[in-house]
Chain A
């Protein structure tokens, strides 16, 4: 036996290359696509129905209606009360849920294999026959308004809300996805039911399943439960992407008894199907996407301003945002923002080093197998392909696409998509303590904790 040399890391062993797991693409007799990630490792099955319309169909004054419509789906059908549905799914230890995001509305269930028929009966019933009962709507409103009041005491929510409002301007992405204290009380059962009728259609949706089930079992179970589902011309709201800003916009939101500021800094980004998505993904990873990223290393490890700092391109069907997000103690708020702006400026000015680029590539490519360990994780990625119309071999090619990016590609990407001279800068915290320092970044707009400008 040789003595162990502890002075340097050991050589890695022989690598096991794995591709993106195979998944099955099929469809119902009605033509609705069905995707299956079959895996019998655990006796669990998850199934999600994606409707291809979501909260991006909301309009000002009616914000939150898509989310509320989706929430009511599991709160009673023509033949089952809300409590009967809850009893039935709870008894088998499963989950049944529905919700809306900007780009889709989903109904999903997850259950031990032996209880799948019970869960799917409920799943199909809430998808096809939701009742939108007035008494359930009243309850949901009460809870939703309480939830909004709660959210307003969260500094991250306050900073994020104003950030979205400024960045997205008149686009629906500027709206509160869960509604406001003004919009929610006015919803009626009839309008929420119409929202759902307008988006529920076998020709504008897909199923995705993961776990302990075969293709023929899955199709058999879906087929007879959804045979009455009628097609319906989809009415998608088309809104042009918001224009890029010309200058900085700076906003502060008052948060009672704040000891920290929640900060958002950014601007318009890209859509999920953008040709430069992977370049932006890699660029962002290096800039603020992982622990070793420039922004986290600067704000956390070098300066000790924060527990963590991150950046992201929030990509959606239409153009989303690019944002840096962090929470720092009040007295270093302006310093932290200045450091963020420095990083955004630097990444456009000089090509990243070879070492930095290879580090980030190693991380993204090397960690890919970890992100597809469970069938549910794989299904989540397949759903992204289906929802955003990406090539079905996208994840087969992903690592090669990352590997091919050069320092020049990243510089060009930064110069195209990062704009430190036209930022939206928002912070929620102690406005009195922050206001004068924030003027260094531009004229300061001030909002109260109800997000009303003062």
Chain B
């Protein structure tokens, strides 16, 4: 097969430097739209929690909107919306990201707000009480009251026996409730120091001006007093399949969920496995769609995707059946047949090229917006300590061979190494039996 034409890869230009207090700054000046994004990623997530405070990093993210030295409770969002902007934040196992998108002339406002909460954080019991309730409702809405909603909790405790990936980012009701104001202060002192953060600005600004502003707002923020220790990866290799079967009337149709431990984000093998999930399930010509949904008519939906993490993450495959009473075994057999073929023979060059084209489209699309670019730059720096990987990643995907994919599948996607959660609805019966929970 001929090499595909060399293409524009949507690289993001940037400059970067450190402030003396260790805050890493990345700037991408771009005047296509009169918009700026301020993005701060702190290198802390749920894997930095202790088991008795599972969910704390995410609760803390909520609390950080509750007030700082010069910004009273409730004012953060008001300032941003009044300036015509929006703000949000998210927490993963590995990082916590805060961002504001604003009309360009309001850039100073975001720098003021973000620097104020890095400099000094103020919290009272009312805020803590309210945000515990809000986070518990978030957990109920997104997990507990959702079909298959207990999946991630069950799968994490199957897949990880030691490492703090064994609980979920949202945590559980008891450990959320257990948080105290002292915990909050300790966490802030340990993880919210300038040297544990990356500040990214993208959009319509003049770099020389903005460097001065950043120096003013962030330059005099001292290091926080806490001592940061990062968890060491300590999972043992999985030698036998781990499986849990859940019968619950909360699910309407049987669901089969596989998770295979896989190497960390950014490794060659993770890149090959990411492309493999496209071959397996992206688009209606993909292998699992064809086998499970189209030809086999065994499943109403299916997907394969990588849950990439800073430490070893998971490659997921799932399928949802068509009928409540359906036997799940034929679905499992079909999935394993598809995977076995991938382990044993090369995927076609055409399939690989298709997956590369999809990936290129996805990566370019993720860089269309000012905030998308900021997120990519911050992520690369936090995860790899190397911003340039945001740009080199596309070429690394394009360099994967069919043998890379076969080898990675043979190494990781074997039945002994998978974790399985199967949800089945209870047998149909009339009456109004109460569930167990």
Q: Contact flags (1/0) for B269-286 with A, using CB distance below 8 Å?
A: 000000000000011111
CB pair A363 B216 closer than 8 Å: no
Known: A13-B108, A369-B84. A6 touches B204 (CB 8 A): no
Q: Smallest distance from the beta carbon of B274 to chain A beta carbons, Å?
A: 14
Does A305 contact B35, Cβ atoms closer than 8 Å? no
**A304 near B129 (CB under 8 angstroms)?**
yes
A342 at the interface (CB under 8 A from B): no
Task: Confirm or deny: A434 has a beta carbon within 8 angstroms of a beta carbon on chain B.
Answer: no
Q: Can you list, as one digit per residue, whether each of B415-437 has a CB less than 8 Å from chain A (1) or not (0)?
A: 00000000000000000000101
Do A44 and B364 touch (CB < 8 A)? yes
- Is there contact, CB below 8 Å, between A260 and B369? no
CA–CA, A43 to B394, complex, Å? 15
Contact A93 B140 (CB under 8 A): no
**Are A370 and B86 closer than 8 Å at their CB atoms?**
yes
B79 neighbours in A (Cβ, 8 Å): 9
In Å, the complex CA distance between A112 and B365 comes to 10
CA distance A257 to B248 in the complex (A): 9
**Residue A398 is within 8 A (CB to CB) of chain B in the complex:** no
Contact A43 B364 (CB under 8 A): yes
Which of A44, A87, A367 is close to B285, meaning CB atoms less than 8 Å apart?
A87
Contact B104 A13 (CB under 8 A): yes
Contact assessment for A7 and B70 in the assembled complex, using a CB-CB cutoff below 8 Å: yes
Query: C-beta contact mask, A366-389 vs B, less than 8 Å → 1, else 0?
Result: 111110011010000000000000
B5 — which chain A residues lie within 8 A by C-beta? 114
B55-78: which have CB < 8 Å to A?
69-70, 74, 77-78
Contact A142 B294 (CB under 8 A): no
Any B CB within 8 A of the CB of A193: no
Interface string of A183-226 (1 = CB under 8 A from B): 00000000000000000000000000000000000000000000
**B8 contacts the other chain (CB 8 A):** yes
Counting CB contacts under 8 A, is A290 at the interface? Answer: yes
A302 to B112, CA, bound (A): 26
Indicate whether A154 reaches chain B with its CB closer than 8 angstroms: yes
Q: Does the CB pair B368–A42 fall under 8 Å? A: yes
A335 to B69, CA, bound (A): 34
CB contact list, A141-174 vs B, under 8 A: 142-143, 145-147, 149-150, 152-155
Residues A12 and B105 in contact, CB atoms below 8 Å apart: yes
Interchain CA distance A154-B250 in the complex, whole Å: 9
CB-CB nearest in chain A for B75: A9
In whole Å, how far is B122's beta carbon from the nearest beta carbon of chain A?
13
Q: In the complex, what's the smallest C-beta–C-beta distance from A284 to chain B, in angstroms?
A: 15
Q: How many angstroms between the C-alpha atoms of A153 and B320 in the bound complex?
A: 14
Q: Please report the C-alpha to C-alpha distance between residue A18 and residue B105 in the assembled complex, in whole angstroms.
A: 12
Interface centre among A15, A153, A306, A365 (most CB of B within 10 A): A153
Is the CB–CB distance between A259 and B83 below 8 Å?
no
Contact A149 B130 (CB under 8 A): no
* Interchain CB contact under 8 A, A257 and B435: yes
A452 close to B (CB within 8 Å): no
| CB <8 Å contact, A112 and B360 | yes
Complex interface bits, B298-341 against A, C-beta within 8 A gives 1, otherwise 0? 00110000000000000000001111100000000000000000
A9-B112, A90-B354 are known contacts. Are A112 and B361 too (CB-CB below 8 A)?
Answer: yes
B39 to chain A, nearest CB (A): 15
Which of B16-24, B142-150, B404-412 binds A? B142-150
A127 to B368, CA, bound (A): 29
Distance from B326 Cβ to chain A, minimum over Cβ atoms (Å): 10
Task: From B35, B297, B320, give the contact of A139 (CB < 8 A).
Answer: B297
- 1/0 contact trace for A293-317 toward B, CB 8 Å? 0000100111011110000000000
With A16-B204, A369-B84, A370-B86 in contact, do A90 and B286 touch (Cβ < 8 Å)? Answer: yes
Q: Which residue among B32, B368, B437 has the maximum number of chain A CB atoms within 10 Å of its CB?
A: B368
Q: Is B263 an interface residue (CB 8 A)?
A: no
Closest A-chain residue to B364, C-beta based? A42
Is A94 engaged at the interface, CB distance under 8 Å to the other chain? yes
Closest beta carbon of chain B to A82's beta carbon, Å: 7
Instruction: Please determine whether B283 and A256 come into contact, CB atoms closer than 8 angstroms.
Output: no
User: CB distance A149 to B324 under 8 Å?
Assistant: yes
Chain A 21-44: CB-based contact to B (< 8 A → 1; otherwise 0): 000000000000000000001111
Find chain B residues with CB under 8 A from A255 CB. Answer: 145
Given contacts A301-B130, A305-B137, contact A327 B145 (CB under 8 A): yes
How many residues of B are in contact with the other chain, CB < 8 A? 95
List B346-385 residues whose CB lies under 8 Å from chain A: 350, 353-354, 356-362, 364-365, 367-370
Residues of chain A contacted by B176 (CB below 8 angstroms) = none
Collect the chain B residues with CB atoms within 8 Å of residue A305's CB: 133, 137
A150 lies within 8 A of B252 (CB): yes
Chain A neighbourhood of B7, CB < 8 A: 43, 112, 114
- Tell me, in angstroms, the Cα distance from A1 to B216 when the chains sit together: 9
A359 and B82 contacting across the interface, CB-CB below 8 Å: yes
- Which residues on the B side are within 8 Å of A6 (C-beta)? 69-70, 112, 115-116, 119
User: Counting CB contacts under 8 A, is B172 at the interface?
Assistant: no
Q: Which residue of B lies closest to A11 (CB)?
A: B108
Chain A nearest Cβ from B297, distance in angstroms: 6
- In the complex, the answer to whether A93 meets B357 with C-beta atoms within 8 Å is yes
Q: Which residues of B contact A139 (CB under 8 A)?
A: 293-294, 297
Alpha-carbon distance A18/B353, docked complex (angstroms): 41
Q: Determine whether A362 belongs to the interface, using a CB cutoff of 8 Å to chain B.
A: yes
Count A-side interface residues using an 8 Å CB cutoff: 76
Does B290 interact with chain A (Cβ within 8 Å)?
yes
Selected from B111, B137, B285, B301, the residue in CB contact (under 8 A) with A304 is: B137
The residue that A260 contacts in the complex, of B133, B140, B253, with Cβ under 8 A, is B140
The answer to whether B178 has its CB under 8 Å from any CB of chain A is no
Residue pair A83, B357 in contact (C-beta under 8 Å): no
- For residue A8, CB closer than 8 A to chain B, the reply is yes
B106 contacts A by Cβ under 8 Å = yes
Interface flag for A89 (CB, 8 Å): yes
Whether the Cβ atoms of B360 and A93 lie closer than 8 Å is yes
Assess A91 versus B354: contact at CB under 8 Å? Given A6-B70, A301-B130, A362-B82: yes
A147 partner residues in chain B, CB cutoff 8 A: 300-301
A253 close to B (CB within 8 Å) = no
**B228: Cβ under 8 A from any A Cβ:** no
CB A366 to nearest CB in B, in angstroms, measures: 2
Q: How far is the CB of B226 from chain A (nearest CB, A)?
A: 23
Interfacial residues of chain B within 34-61, with CB under 8 A of chain A in the complex: 34-35
A74-B259 Cα distance, complex, nearest whole Å: 32
Instruction: Please give me the residue from chain A that is nearest to B87 by CB atom.
Output: A291
B368 and A44 contacting across the interface, CB-CB below 8 Å: yes
In-complex Cβ contact of B108 among A12, A258, A376 (8 A): A12
**How many angstroms between the C-alpha atoms of A300 and B119 in the bound complex?**
27
A292 near B70: Cβ-Cβ < 8 Å: no
In the complex, A328 has a CB within 8 A of chain B: yes
Task: State whether the Cβ of B33 lies closer than 8 Å to any Cβ in chain A.
Answer: yes
- A307: chain B residues at CB < 8 Å are 134-135, 137-138, 141-142
Which 7 pairs show the lowest CB-CB distances between chains A and B? A366-B84, A304-B133, A93-B357, A146-B300, A90-B283, A86-B284, A10-B108
Enumerate 26 A-B pairs (CB-CB under 8 Å) in ascending A order. Answer: A6-B70, A9-B113, A10-B108, A13-B105, A13-B106, A13-B107, A42-B367, A42-B368, A86-B284, A90-B358, A91-B285, A92-B357, A93-B356, A142-B297, A142-B300, A147-B300, A147-B301, A149-B252, A257-B437, A304-B137, A307-B134, A327-B145, A359-B78, A367-B86, A369-B35, A370-B85
Q: Which residues of A contact B (CB under 8 A)?
A: 1, 4, 6-16, 18, 41-44, 82-83, 86-87, 89-94, 111-112, 114-115, 139, 142-143, 145-147, 149-150, 152-155, 255-260, 290-292, 297, 300-302, 304-307, 327-329, 359, 362-363, 365-370, 373-374, 376
Given A91-B357, A367-B81; 8 other pairs, CB 8 A cutoff: A4-B217, A9-B79, A16-B104, A42-B365, A91-B354, A150-B253, A257-B435, A368-B84
